[in-house]
Amino acid sequence: MRLLGCILALTAIASASDVLEFTDSDFSSKVDDHDIILVEFFAPWCGHCKRLAPEYEKAATALKGNDPPVALAKVDCTANEETCKKYGVSGYPTLKIFRAGEFAEEYGGPREADGITKYMMSRAGPTCKDLESVEDVDIQLSKASDNFVMGFFEDKDSSLAKDFQKVADAMSTDLKFGRTFNKDALAKYKYKNEVVLFQPEKYKSKFEESSKKCSEKDVEKIKTWIGENMLGLCGERTQGNAEKFKRPLIVAFYDVDYVKNVKGTNYWRNRVMKVAKKLKDSGKKFYTAVSNIKDFSYELGEFGLGDAKGDKPIITARDEADRKYVMTDEFTMDNLEKFINDFLDGKVEPYLKSEPVPDNEGEAVKTVVAKNFDEIVNDEDKDVLIEFYAPWCGHCKNLEPKYKELAEKLADEPGITIAKMDATANDVAKPYEVSGFPTIYFAPKGSKNNPRKYNGGREVDDFLKYLAKESSDELLGFNRNGKKKKGGQKKSEL
């Protein structure tokens, strides 16, 4: 009986999933049942698939109640090779959108719940919903869970109404749009031939208006206005919209939960907003947001706050150069105001994840850490070739002796520095982008803000030829083709 109970419990858990599961035998018939459906092709052993699974499940639950509903499904490619081969699946996870049983498009959206939900909502139904009565408008605005853009128009064929549709088509993955031509609705809301941004009930506060009217009449200008206002004075920053927040940005991390605890969430948000409004009214230019501390634990780790806990918000900031800052004092409105002022006035030291500065004396390959990055890599008198590596990376280990040999061959070249940096133990400065290992950049003198990514071969001769050709000044010991000069180094002029 106990075994039977366990089996029934496991069955109940499995059946609770809102993600549908298709196989080779039923894929075509089941996909055909849905006007629109997102299908994930996965492998059980795939790490990326495992990370996606809980986000995909959350999105499936959210989209199940959408109007119209959007289904999410999955196919195990290790057990259903025929279907996966038919749709050209070559990596995992692969996500595809189907309409009326036919493949429609590759999924090009985010891989977290909020982003998946918004992306698929934008693909389901019209990009702009027509609301034909006062009741329709009332219901839409009362049930909106996020900011909502509404167009109030007298004439369907007006240029503004047509431009509004173009704006909705372009921005429907970011926001929901609606429009009405109903005279009673225009009279009740007192808008005529205007575009209005409405906040949902959960975001309303005394520190900003719950609706804003756009005075622009041109497509691009309307889009710009919406982009500048859609997040409000202090927006809810999620994994799906994080890149939308401009900098300098101050973020309050705590238990943000607009589903189960609206009152508690707004208790702290209102305090951040009060400070933000005061400083913005005085002419300060910056942006603020609140984020769920659990959802962004990885980001807090970048600030050295991976183990941070507490009942009060944790405050961080990023400036326009992507430098990171941490408010070390306990959260109070006075401390927050002081931190923001000091941050904007350049009185706060940026946080750097960095190993100790090494002694590079006598080393052919110079070791760079975050704290000496500017000194070595951004030295305007030197061309620098820098390798970003990870200690565990096999390709990096294979490259190490060749990279050292290259540095030794160029040891007498005063204008070249060969450097390396452990990108797992140090912050990588902008504009460098490291998404795999090893990643190699060439930073020529006089152009340190525009380093060039190295994509050539990884033998010593490949590096020599590249540096001989790209170096700002001709190398002493090598021709521009990377060949060693006859008679050694060229003579210095007297």
Per the residue annotation, which of 49, 77, 128, 214 is the catalytic one? 49
Q: What is the mean pLDDT of residues 206-218?
A: 95
Q: What is the mean pLDDT of residues 302-316?
A: 89
Asked whether 239 and 112 are in contact (CB, 8 A), the reply is yes
At residue 399, the pLDDT reads 97
3-state secondary structure of 259: coil
pLDDT digits (tens, 9 = 90+) for 323-344: 999 999 999 999 999 999 999 9
Run of H or E residues at 90: none
At residue 32, the pLDDT reads 92
pTM above 0.85, yes or no: no
Distance (Å, whole) CA 197 – CA 214: 8
For the ranges 4-8, 194-198, 441-445, which has the lowest average pLDDT? 4-8
Concerning whether 46 is annotated as a catalytic residue, the answer is: yes
pLDDT digits (tens, 9 = 90+) for 95-130: 999 988 889 889 988 999 988 998 898 888 788 999
Phi/psi of residue 410, nearest 5 degrees: -100, 15
- For residue 381, how many other CB atoms are within 10 A of its CB? 10
- For residue 130, how many other CB atoms are within 10 A of its CB? 12
At residue 2, the pLDDT reads 52
Per the residue annotation, which of 84, 128, 234, 396 is the catalytic one? 396
Asked whether 216 and 205 are in contact (CB, 8 A), the reply is no
Sheet holding 234-236, edge to edge: 234-236, 287-292, 249-254, 314-318, 324-326
At residue 491, the pLDDT reads 41
Concerning whether 49 is annotated as a catalytic residue, the answer is: yes
Q: Give the model's confidence band at 363: pLDDT under 50 very low, under 70 low, under 90 confident, else very high.
A: very high
∠346-348-353 over CA atoms, to 5°?
A: 120
Contacts of 442 (CB under 8 A, 6+ apart): 383, 384, 385, 451, 452, 454, 466, 467, 470
pLDDT digits (tens, 9 = 90+) for 398-410: 999 999 999 999 9
Per the residue annotation, which of 6, 46, 128, 234 is the catalytic one? 46
Distance (Å, whole) CA 276 – CA 280: 6
Distance (Å, whole) CA 289 – CA 133: 35
Distance (Å, whole) CA 490 – CA 474: 10
Task: Convert 346-372 to b/e letters by CB count within 10 Å (16 or more is b).
Answer: eebebbebeeeeeeeeeeebbbbbbbb
Give the residue with greater pLDDT, 443 vs 473: 443
CA separation (Å) from 117 to 40, 114, 164? 14, 5, 23
Asked whether 143 and 271 are in contact (CB, 8 A), the reply is no
